[in-house]
Amino acid sequence: MTILNSTAEQRDRANATAVAAMLESDPALVDVLPALEALPGMTRNTILTSGAPLAWSEYAGGQRRAILGAALYEGLARTAEEADALLHSGEIVVRACHDYACVGSVTGVTSASMPVWVVEDAASGRRGHCLVYEGSDRERLTYGVWNAKVHRRLLWIREVLAPRLAAAVRSAGGVRVNPIIRRALGMGDDLHSRNTAATAVLFHHLFGPIIDVNGYDEATREVLAFLSQNDLFFLHVGMATGKCIAEAAVGTPHSSIVTAMALSEKEFAIRVAGTGERWFRAGIPALDAKLFDGITADDIAFMGGESLITETVGLGGLAAAAAFSLQDYSGGTAEGMVETTKAMYGITHAEHPLWKIPFLGFRGVPFGIDASLVAATGVTPRIHMGASLREGGHAGAGLLIAPEEPFREALAVLEGRAVA
């Protein structure tokens, strides 16, 4: 890659271009497909996971467990030991979700037969993907747990839930996502830690097609119950949408607009539009979390996560002032949430013309994080995210304050002050 030597003027113009491209997106849910069919470049022996990629030997916690679980789930190995050997030898490969037009929740582990949401911007044909939500049980592959119960649920998702959702979404001719997000922001969602309203609105779109196309049998009843009883069900639709939108800016020369933020077990990393697929990495700061009863700070550990794509497109922590009910779930105060969103206007390039925050007089959410503004102000993105148990499982939720270094480093590369 060449050294860019972007001037401030070039950067400003490029940022306007990048953000305009993102805002032009009109993403729609168009299908649910196995990852192998949906993701460009996906293979049967590829396992995707969250964050800037690490060597297999560096994964030690929840991501390692989930990757091994996925290898067994796909029948790539008969035992965890065999899977480990194949991962060391490279016969099973671990790749970053973000390189496959995909994002993953927590461990983000996505393998060939797992069904993903397909979200498409009709005008450009650009697509973003994310696994179908795995349910609210604390034990799930998403949260680094692999056991017989997790296996059974994944099979139900693949064999029952996904085909029925796919048929419904297709028969509905797709479901536009921008209006759902707009409506949910008016009903107390931040679209990251809280998706209660968006899930209900999506349900209104899908229940009719689900029944009409699949018939009202026992399996359809299970599907409807799953959709109506999991308040975070919409999260993965929103994540695929975020990826679809953010991709519009990728590769805009000179632009310092953030196109990805992601966590592995060990690192926080970002990409900016002007440096394409390069990751800028740092260690992970502490998560200020409200934990479920009986869980202490010693019990939790990072195991990755790319739901930060919601913050990348102005939601989650950036839209904190829309979601005061999160106090119950992830802690904080209403005043703090208002201050969080207000601070985010200082590091973003625009205000979304459709996604609005009632408390702020329907001001648009702060949209398009600009690494140059982060570097200039020292204010970094505020991120709403789930906490995970060291040994696997969902532990609570809280606020993560992104580290400053990756934003500074990205800017230095754009300005030719560091090796590109």
**Residue ranges that bind its own copies, judged by CB under 8 A:** 186-188, 196-197, 200-201, 203-204, 207-208, 211, 216, 221, 224-225, 228, 324-325, 327-328, 333-334, 358-362
Name the residue nearer to its own copies (CB basis): 51 or 209.
Answer: 209
**Residue 334 token pair:** 């209403």
Residue 117 beta carbon to its own copies: minimum distance, rounded to whole angstroms: 21
Among 41, 46, 215, which residue's Cα sits nearest to residue 114?
A: 46
Residue 206 beta carbon to its own copies: minimum distance, rounded to whole angstroms: 11
> Are the beta carbons of 65 and 144 closer than 8 angstroms?
yes
Residue 166 beta carbon to its own copies: minimum distance, rounded to whole angstroms: 21
Name the residue nearer to its own copies (CB basis): 125 or 361.
Answer: 361
Name the residue nearer to its own copies (CB basis): 188 or 416.
Answer: 188
Distance of CA 41 to the CA centre of its chain: 20
Name the residue nearer to its own copies (CB basis): 138 or 183.
Answer: 183
Other Cβ atoms closer than 10 A to 229: 11
Q: Report d(CA 71, CA 273) in Å as an integer.
A: 33
**Residue 342 token pair:** 């207000």
Q: What DSSP element (H or E) covers 363?
A: strand 363-369
Name the residue nearer to its own copies (CB basis): 293 or 328.
Answer: 328
**Residue 63 contacts by C-beta under 8 Å, 6 or more apart in sequence?**
49, 50, 107, 108, 109, 144, 264, 265, 303, 304
**Residue 215 contacts by C-beta under 8 Å, 6 or more apart in sequence?**
none
Identity of residue 69: G
Name the residue nearer to its own copies (CB basis): 43 or 333.
Answer: 333
Residue 164 beta carbon to its own copies: minimum distance, rounded to whole angstroms: 15
Residue 209 beta carbon to its own copies: minimum distance, rounded to whole angstroms: 12
Calculate helix-pair angle for 218-229, 162-171, nearest 10 degrees: 80
Residue 199 beta carbon to its own copies: minimum distance, rounded to whole angstroms: 10
